[in-house]
Amino acid sequence: MGCEVDRVFIQAVEHRPKPTIIEVSGIPLIDLSPLNSVGPEGLQSLSGLIAEVGAACRDWGFFQVINHGVPLDLLDRIGSAAKEFFALSPEEKRKVRRDEMNWLGYFDTEHTKNVRDWKEVFDFVVHVPTVIPASYEADDQEVQELRNRWPTYPLELREASMEYARAVEKLAFKLLELISLSLDLPADRLSTFFKEQTSNIRVNHYPPCPGPHLALGVGRHKDPGGLTVLAQDDVGGLDVKRKTDGEWVRVKPIPDSYIINVGDIIQVWSNDRYESAEHRVSVNSEKERYSIPFFFNPAHHVMVKPLEELVSEENPAKYKEYNWGKFGKIRKQSNFKKLDIENLQISHFKISE
C-alpha cells in the first residue's frame, strides 16, 4: 500500500478521526454465562439477561459479551491461518480475488461511502452454496449459488474457518433469541428468517497506516444485515457513534469477548425500537490490526418490514418492505468500485411521517 497515503484513501475533513478520541468503558458489557444454566422452561426464565440485552440494543445498538461459549482455540486457529494468508505476496492473494460476479475471497480495494478503506479482507459464506439473487434488477427472479474461494496456502484456513463459523453461528442464534424475547416476542420469532441464511464471515487485516489522521480502516457505516458478532484483537481501533451525544468513542478490547451490533434489519423489524449503530475503524501508524466479524443475515427471499406484533394504529410501520437479497446485492455492487451515487440505505424505505 505504499508508504504515503494515496488520495483515494483520504476522508473528507468532517469524517477524519480526531486524535483525542476516548476509549470508553460505558459500552454495555453483558455476561452470557446464565445461558449455560437454562432449565426446561427455556430462555424466558433469564429475565435479567433479556432486560440487559434489550436495554443495550435500545440505548447503544452495540454491546460486548463475555462467557459466550465460543471456544477460544477456534478463534486462535482461524486467526493464525488468516495471518499466514495475508502475509503471502499480492500475486498469491489475488489468485482468490473477488470479482464482479462472486464477491467471496480476497479483496483489497473496498470502498465504504465511496472512499477507499485502508484494509484487506478475506470473505467466506457460512453455508455452501449460499443462494442470492443473480442481479439487483427488481424484476429479475434468477438466483445465483455462491461458493467459497479457498487459497491453496495455508491449507488449514478452510477447515479452521468453517469450524469457527459453526461455533459463532450458535452464539448468533442465541443472541437472536434473546433479542426476540426482549421485544416481547417468542424466542424463535426471528430465527425462521435465517433458515436459508446468507451469513458470511470476513477476516479484516488493517496494515499500519502512515496517515492515520487522514484515512480510515473502514469508513463510517451501519451493518446492513441482521446482527454482527465481531472478534477484535488487542490493538483497538473500532469506533462507535454514541447515541446520547453523537460523539465517536473507541471500543476497548476485552480479552475473549465479542462485540455485538444490531444491524439495519433488526432496526426495521423492531420499527425503530432498536437502532443500528454507526461505526468505523481507525488505523494507527505502528500496529497492524485484525478483526473477524460474523455477519448474521437472513435468507435472500426475506421481505424485511416492521413486525406485525410491533406496529399498531398508534405506532404505524415506519418502513416500506424491501427484499433482503436485492438490497444486499446493490450494496455489494457499490463497495466493489467507487460510484458517484450515495449507496442504498434503509432510510430510502422510510415512510415519511
**Which span sits near ligand OGA by CB under 6 A: 22-30, 80-88, 230-238, 335-343?**
230-238
Instruction: Please say which residue, 169 or 264, places its beta carbon nearer to ligand OGA.
Output: 264
The reply to whether 223 sits near Ni ion by the rule CB under 5 A is yes
User: Taking the complex as a whole, how short is the minimal distance between the CB of residue 186 and ligand OGA, in angstroms?
Assistant: 30
Separation of CA 163 from chain center: 19
Q: Residue 297: which of ligand OGA, Ni ion, none does it interact with, CB under 5 to 8 A by kind?
A: none
- Number of residues interacting with Ni ion: please give it, by CB under 5 A: 1
Taking CB under 6 A as the criterion, the residue among 148, 180, 197, 232 binding ligand OGA is 232
Closer residue to ligand OGA, CB minimum distance, 122 or 322: 122
Residue 112 or 130: the one with the smaller Cβ distance to Ni ion is 112
Options 96, 265, 281, 346; binder of ligand OGA; rule CB under 6 A: 281
**Min. distance of Cβ 289 from ligand OGA in angstroms?**
8
Amino acid residing at 118: W
Pick the stretch among 52-60, 62-70, 222-230, 344-352 that binds Ni ion (CB under 5 A): 222-230
Shortest Cβ 230–ligand OGA spacing (Å): 6
Q: Binding partner of residue 238 among Ni ion, ligand OGA, none, CB under 5 to 8 Å per kind?
A: ligand OGA
CB neighbour class for 137 (10 Å; exposed up to 12, middle 13-18, buried from 19): exposed
Give 279 or 318: the residue with its C-beta nearer to ligand OGA. 279
- SS3 for the chain is CCCCCCHHHCCCHHHCCCCCCEEECCCCEEECHHHHHCCCCCHHHCHHHHHHHHHHHHHCCEEEEECCCCCHHHHHHHHHHHHHHHCCCHHHHHCCECCCCCCCEEECCCEECCEECCCEEEEEECCCCEEEECCCCCCCCCEEEECCCCCCCCCHHHHHHHHHHHHHHHHHHHHHHHHHHHCCCCCCCCHHHHCCECCEEEEEEECCCCCCCCCCCEEEECCCCCEEEEEECCCCCEEEECCCCCCEEEECCCCCCEEEEECHHHHHHCCCCCCCCCEEECCCCCCCEEEEEEEECCECCCEECCCHHHCCCCCCCCECCEEHHHHHHHHHHHHHCCCCCCCCCHHHHECCC
Q: Minimum distance between the CB of residue 40 and ligand OGA, rounded to whole angstroms? A: 38
Q: Which is nearer to Ni ion, 219 or 298 (CB)?
A: 219
Cell readout for 99 is 470479482
Angstrom distance (rounded) from CA 295 to CA 228: 5
**Under rule CB under 6 A, which residues in 168-227 are in contact with ligand OGA?**
202, 204, 218, 223
Taking CB under 5 A as the binding criterion, the range among 54-62, 67-75, 217-225, 326-334 that sits at the site for Ni ion is: 217-225
Nearest approach in angstroms of CB 316 to ligand OGA is 31
Q: Could you tell me the smallest distance in angstroms from the CB atom of residue 17 to ligand OGA?
A: 13
Q: Report 288-327 residues binding ligand OGA (CB under 6 A).
A: 291, 293
Q: Which residues bind Ni ion (CB under 5 A)?
A: 223
Q: Please report, as ranges, the residues that interact with ligand OGA according to CB under 6 A.
A: 202, 204, 218, 223, 230, 232, 238, 279, 281, 291, 293
